[in-house]
């Protein structure tokens, strides 16, 4: 996957950061002001942000609103539908679906955020060093990327799942992050290569600045738009990956729950006992959708040349 990916990267790299028409010196609002205004101007993105905020509140405040915890069992109510006592109904063993769902949301949201943060950070470092230094650094790092792209991350994490079974879920986060950074790293590398030849980077070099300092001072800040957008979209990718793995039992382990394990448990009775499947699935879709909308809105706001 050599020629085409470079082209994709090329397309992204062409989007010159800080470009735009020459502006009159006066009356120019600050960059972040412009970004904020453009973002707020996109109704869907704004709606996504509001919904996402609501979901976070639900996930972290929600558990305190009900007397049930996600480990409690109500032996008086097996498989009962939504009611005043059990807002989302109960499971086969009398677990409260609402308590389980908000707990699952917590897990999925936290894991999604952490994985996106780690993997984007890793991608930024690997991509910018490979792109800036070129030569053998580049060849080695990019060969690793290519190798890891050949094996879908999902397979690798599934294979390694016994390693974190019974241990902290943070290990799962690290593993997931370790296999999700490659595509972003390639894009960062491509952008770095184009920035490396930019005059202000050349000027810094001819001033006597060292390579790593140029990367952290001039290159990474100038691809921050891309990193922010990618980190956001990586949140949704990470949530989907996490729930997918948990769905098969390769992710979050019982007794803890994630939206993935809940959906897996509810799937077989989705038709007969819809509350087992519907709430978890609906909330999962809502989370991912709102993250995606926010990411897309950010892309439009940060990168006016993206055209979308």
Partner 1 sequence: MAKFLLRRLASSIVLVAIAASLAYVLAAASLSPRSNFEGRNPPPPAAVVERELEARNLNDRTPIIERYGAWATGLVRLDFGESWDGTSVNAEMARRIGVSLRLLIIATILGSVLGVLVGAWGAVRQHRFSDHAITFASFVILSTPVFVLAVLLEIVAVGVNDATGVSVFEYTGEFTPGLEGGFWTLAVDRLQHLVLPTLTLVLAQIAIFSRYQRNAMLDVLGSDFVRTAQAKGLRRRTALLKHALRTALIPSATFFAYNFGLLLIGATFIETIFGWHGMGEWFIESVRRNDVNAVAAVSCFAAVLVLFAGLLSDLAYAVLDPRIRVGA
Partner 2 sequence: MTPAADPLVAVRGLSVTFPDRTGDVRAVRDVDYDLARGEVLGIVGESGSGKSAAALAVMGLLPAGARVEGSVRLDGEELIGLEDRALSRLRGRRIAMVFQDPLSALTPVYRIGQQVAEAVQAHNRLSRDEARSRAVELLELVGIAGARERAGAFPHELSGGMRQRVMIAMAIANDPDVLIADEPTTALDVTIQAQVLEVLRTAREATGAAMIVITHDLGVVAGFADRVAVMYAGRLVEQGGVDDVYERPRMPYTMGLLGSIPRVDESGRRPLVPIEGAPPSPAHLPPGCPFAPRCPLVFERCHEEEPALAAVGGRPQLAACHRAAEIEAGGLAPEEVYEVRSSAPAPGAERRNGRPQVLRTEDLVKHHPLLRGAVFKRQVGTVRAVDGISLTVGEGETLGLVGESGCGKTTALLEILELTRPQGGRVVVLGRDTAELDARERRALRREVQVVFQDPLASLDPRLPVSDVLAEPLRTHGVARERVEERVRELVRLVGLEHQHLSRYPQHFSGGQRQRIAIARALALEPKLVVLDEPVSALDVSIRAGVVNLLEELRERLGLSYLFVAHDLSVVRHVSDRVAVMYLGRLVEVGDVDRLYGGPAHPYTQALLSAIPVPDPRKERTRARILLPGDLPSPAEVPGGCRFHTRCPKFAALDAERRRRCLEEEPELRAVGPGQEAACHYAERLAVV
The CA–CA distances, whole Å, from 25 to 28, 122, 156, 244 equal: 7, 38, 53, 52
- DSSP bridge pairs for 96: 90
| Half-sphere exposure for 136 (CA within 13 Å, toward CB) | 0
23 binds partner 2 (CB under 8 A): yes
Residues 265-294 within binding reach of partner 2 (CB under 8 A): none
Q: Choose the contact partner of 244 out of partner 1, partner 2, none; CB within 5 to 8 A by kind.
A: partner 1
> Closest distance between partner 1 and the C-beta of residue 247, in Å?
5
**Three-state DSSP class for residue 90:** strand
271 binds partner 1 (CB under 8 A): yes
Consecutive H or E run containing 101: helix 97-133
Q: Choose the contact partner of 281 out of partner 2, partner 1, none; CB within 5 to 8 A by kind.
A: partner 1
Crossing angle of the two packed helices 97-133 and 182-196, in degrees rounded to 10: 30
Do the beta carbons of residue 279 and residue 97 sit within 8 Å? yes
Residue 156 neighbours by CB distance under 10 Å: 15
Residue 22 vs 255, nearer CB to partner 2: 22
**Three-state DSSP class for residue 134:** coil
Question: Using CB under 8 A, which of 156, 204, 240, 270 touches partner 2?
Answer: 204
184 binds partner 1 (CB under 8 A): no
Residues whose CB is less than 8 angstroms from the CB of residue 178 and which lie 6 or more positions away in sequence, other chains included: 119, 122
Q: Choose the contact partner of 149 out of partner 2, partner 1, none; CB within 5 to 8 A by kind.
A: partner 1
> Closest distance between partner 2 and the C-beta of residue 65, in Å?
41
Footprint of partner 1 (CB under 8 A): 1-5, 7-8, 11, 44, 146-147, 149-156, 158-163, 183, 236, 240, 243-244, 247-250, 263-264, 267, 270-271, 277, 281, 284-285, 288-289, 291-293, 296, 306-308
């Amino acid at each position: 996957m050599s020629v085409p990916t470079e082209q994709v990267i090329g397309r992204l790299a062409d989007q010159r950061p800080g470009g735009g028409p020459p502006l009159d010196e006066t009356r120019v609002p600050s960059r972040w002001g412009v970004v904020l205004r453009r973002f707020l101007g996109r109704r869907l993105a704004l709606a996504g942000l509001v919904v996402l905020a609501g979901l976070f509140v639900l996930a972290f405040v929600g558990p305190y609103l009900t007397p049930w915890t996600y480990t409690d069992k109500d032996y008086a109510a097996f498989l009962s539908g939504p009611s005043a006592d059990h807002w989302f109904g109960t499971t086969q063993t009398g677990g409260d679906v609402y308590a389980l769902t908000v707990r699952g949301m917590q897990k999925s949201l936290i894991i999604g955020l952490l994985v996106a943060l780690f993997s984007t950070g890793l991608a930024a470092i690997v991509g910018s060093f490979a792109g800036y230094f070129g030569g053998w650094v580049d060849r080695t790092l990019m060969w690793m990327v290519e190798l890891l792209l050949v094996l879908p991350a999902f397979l690798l994490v599934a294979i390694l799942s016994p390693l974190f079974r019974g241990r902290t879920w943070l290990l799962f986060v690290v593993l997931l992050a370790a296999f999700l950074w490659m595509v972003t790293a390639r894009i960062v590398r491509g952008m770095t290569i184009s920035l490396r030849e930019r005059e202000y980077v050349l000027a810094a070099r001819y001033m006597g600045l060292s390579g790593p300092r140029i990367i952290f001072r001039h290159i990474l800040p100038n691809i921050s738009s891309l990193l922010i957008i990618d980190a956001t979209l990586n949140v949704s990718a990470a949530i989907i990956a996490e729930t997918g793995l948990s769905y098969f039992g390769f992710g979050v382990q019982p007794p803890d729950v994630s939206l993935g394990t809940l959906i897996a448990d509810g799937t077989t009775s989705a038709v007969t006992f819809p509350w087992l499947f519907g709430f978890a699935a609906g909330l999962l879709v809502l989370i991912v959708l709102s993250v995606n909308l926010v990411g897309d809105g950010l892309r439009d706001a940060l990168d006016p040349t993206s055209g979308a």
